[in-house]
Amino acid sequence: MIIKADSYFRYPPLNLNPKQVIVFNGIRYSIDIVEIAYERLCKNLYDFVYSENKPSFPVIFSECWTIINSATIFINLSIRHFKIDKENSIWDGIREIKELRNTNQHLDERINEVLLENNLPIYGALSWYSQEHLDAKEGVITTIISGSFTGDTNHIVLNPAGKKLKNTISGIEFSTTARTKNGFEIIKVDLEKIINQIKHVVNYFDNQLVPQLIDVDITDRYKGDLVISMYVNKLI
């Protein structure tokens, strides 16, 4: 769990400014969605290699883009409301995903601007290394490309030789075209490293909140999400 069970992000103090509570909710949901999508992505990548019922390409790429979109929301909320400069070293290794998200938001423009011209995959490419179990002596390196790709690719994948891996799925590298200061470039991100960096950032925020809320009564806290259910008679 990226956000701890007792975190203020999960259960804000009742005496907290309502605007801050909304920001905390936004951060909690964006991070929880990132975590859920990443867990599903890893399962789908494992099943893609080892299961007879392989997930479809859109299922896999939708998880990648969900991670990118929700992680960007987390970054934007943090920069805007915690006054952390976007160039702060705490964002090293994950700030690139904002450029990827811009591609997703303006995909129709990218098709005309660069994707068609350079014959690039419209929803990106993904590579990963998988082992059937952790103590396996061999594994499978896989690359998938979205759509009917007719061009060339030099997508570099993880070389697992000599590495001690902690998971059966590792080296999950996603790439797509993004607009940068230097024009259009292919941006590659390691999704596993992004998740680890987000964990580091959230832990940093949690530690910073403790002294900042020292003057706030934290005895009572919000309970979390609200559910409203009503039983009704079906009208015919």
Higher pLDDT, 115 or 207: 207
Average pLDDT of the residues of the chain:
85
Q: Which residue from 130, 122, 137 is spatially nearest to 58, judged by alpha carbons?
A: 122
Average pLDDT over residues 180-200: 87
Q: Which two tokens stand for residue 11?
A: 């259960």
Q: Where are the domains of the chain?
A: 18-212
Angstrom distance (rounded) from CA 120 to CA 124: 8
The per-residue b/e assignment along 185-202, b for 16 or more CB within 10 angstroms, e otherwise, is ebbbbbbbebbebbeebb
What pLDDT does 36 receive?
A: 98
Q: How confident is the model at residue 199 (pLDDT cuts 50, 70, 90)?
A: very high
Over residues 3-30, mean pLDDT:
92
Q: Is the pTM of this model over 0.85?
A: yes
The neighbour count for residue 87, using CB atoms within 10 Å, is 10
**pLDDT at res. 159:** 66
State the pLDDT confidence band at 109, using cuts at 50, 70 and 90: low
